[in-house]
Amino acid sequence: MRTLTCIVCPIGCTLAVGEEPELPVSGNRCPRGAVYALEEIRSPRRVVTATCGIDGGAREGGLRRVPVKSSVPCPREKIPELLADIYKTRAALPVKSGDILIADWRGTGINIFAIREIG
Ligand code: SF4
């Protein structure tokens, strides 16, 4: 038996997942919890937040980096590789919130977009 906290909504149900092959889920108040638990066990993913550099260095207010986020959760085992590519990226200014700085990262469908405007 494995115990997880559902992160799909703020209620945070405690989920219990039984053994393979059935992987029965209990403790969920709604079906989304069961879906989350099974994905978390079979193929864990996380939304990635990080920062990337700015072409030409610091800008307004001494900002040196652009905060970014992944458009969809990334498979957990690929996160170090994704972060390495984000850290190598240099954004050309101006950057608007929502601008895609890395499109379809390595064919995964993951876009990396800015979450702050820097001009
Ligand atoms: S199981 Fe449903 S109600 Fe409970 S935390 Fe997850 S999404 Fe929210």
Separation of CA 7 and ligand 1 centre (Å): 7
Q: Which domain holds residue 14?
A: 2-42
Residues 34, 52 within the same domain: no
d(CA 75, CA 51): 19
Residues 27, 62 within the same domain: no
pLDDT tens-place string over residues 17-52 = 999 989 999 999 999 999 999 999 999 999 999 999
Nearest atom (ligand 1) to Cα of 27: 1
Residues 25, 51 within the same domain: no
Residues 12, 54 within the same domain: no
Q: Tell me, yes or no, whether 78 lies in a domain.
A: yes
> Which residues line the pocket of ligand 1, CB cutoff 6 A?
6, 8-9, 11-13, 28-30, 32-33
Q: The pTM is what?
A: 0.79
- The CA-atom distances, in angstroms, between 7 and each of 10, 12, 14, 32, 62 are 7, 6, 10, 10, 35
pLDDT tens-place string over residues 6-15 = 999 999 999 9
